[in-house]
Amino acid sequence: MTHVPTVTLANGLPMPLLGFGVFQVPDPAECEQAVYDALIAGYRLIDTAAAYQNEEAVGSAIARSGIPRGELFITSKLWVQDTSYEAAKTAYQVSLDKLKLDYLDLYLIHQPYNDVYGAWRAFEELYNQGRVRAIGVSNQTSGRLVDLCLNNRISPMINQIELHPFHQQHTAVDVMREYGVQPEAWAPFAEGRQDLFTNAVLHKIGGQYGKTAAQVVLRWHIQRGVIAIPKSVHAERIRENFDIFDFELSDQDMEAIRALDEEKGLFVQHEDPQIVKQLNSWKIHN
């Protein structure tokens, strides 16, 4: 079995640099099969969220795999409606029950809205009680992240943000490094936008190693020290995305990919008032 390299979080916990995400896989049977296929392929980091409405399917795949719990690294996230002190504690237990687990390895505040500070107090308590092994945030801008680090007993250990070759977030990553926060990329393939999978630069680099553009992108993330959580529902693609540990990008390759950076996001603009309103109005059923 291929050993996935890990990164050490601020609290000393090792976390795999490559994982499997399940955003936009709402069908229970499809999600369970995809997660099962990923676990069999060798993935041990699985990333879900209350808002994805598929925690139960993820839990079923974990149970079906028979892989010892201690070998897994399971992440879930708290949605906006529950981002407050009391609601966060309740929502955590709901997620845990759906996943059929006794603890989470990582719990994230999904969006930078509602009572983030109140929720973070609950996160600190869950962490201190040993009910979650690491705590962090998602979609926090650099300024908000620094504020959280400066004004809490425990700083976020992860910030999961949009990060891919077209939006490389160099400044944001530098800030995270300064404060001991590990960067994690959602949409590591930019969901295929900007024709990423057929990009000439990525295709040419891959040709040197007998790899696809997608494999080059995942290797690029890992060599930057950024955790990546690609998603697929196709077993062959799931295995292909895992097959990135037998080659290494050169400095020249890394510079060529750096030149693809457009320095702007392709998805949710978290400071847009309409986006804030939209995400605050989206309620999930616990």
Evaluate whether residue 5 is within a structural domain: no
Evaluate whether residue 172 is within a structural domain: yes
* Residue 1 pLDDT: 66
Residues identified as active-site: 52
Q: What is the pLDDT along the chain (286 residues), one digit of tens a residue?
A: 678 999 999 999 999 999 999 999 999 999 999 999 999 999 999 999 999 999 999 999 999 999 999 999 999 999 999 999 999 999 999 999 999 999 999 999 999 999 999 999 999 999 999 999 999 999 999 999 999 999 999 999 999 999 999 999 999 999 999 999 999 999 999 999 999 999 999 999 999 999 999 999 999 999 999 999 999 999 999 999 999 999 999 999 999 999 999 999 999 999 999 999 999 999 998 7
The neighbour count for residue 69, using CB atoms within 10 Å, is 12
Evaluate whether residue 10 is within a structural domain: no
| Cα 47 from Cα 74, distance rounded (Å) | 6
Evaluate whether residue 285 is within a structural domain: no
| Cα 282 from Cα 229, distance rounded (Å) | 24
Q: How many domains does the chain have?
A: 1
Evaluate whether residue 8 is within a structural domain: no
CATH number, domain with residue 78: 3.20.20.100
* Residue 286 pLDDT: 75
* Residue 3 pLDDT: 82
| Residue range(s) defining the domain that contains residue 227 | 15-280
Q: In what order do the strands lie in the sheet with 135-138?
A: 19-21, 45-47, 73-78, 106-109, 135-138, 158-162, 182-186, 227-228
**Whole-model pTM over 0.85:** yes
Identify whether the C-beta of residue 137 lies closer than 8 Å to the C-beta of residue 159: yes
Evaluate whether residue 7 is within a structural domain: no
The pLDDT tens digits of the residues spanning 196-246 come to 999 999 999 999 999 999 999 999 999 999 999 999 999 999 999 999 999
Choose among 211, 200, 193: nearest CA to 247.
211
Evaluate whether residue 2 is within a structural domain: no
Q: Which residue has the tokens 């702007």?
A: 264
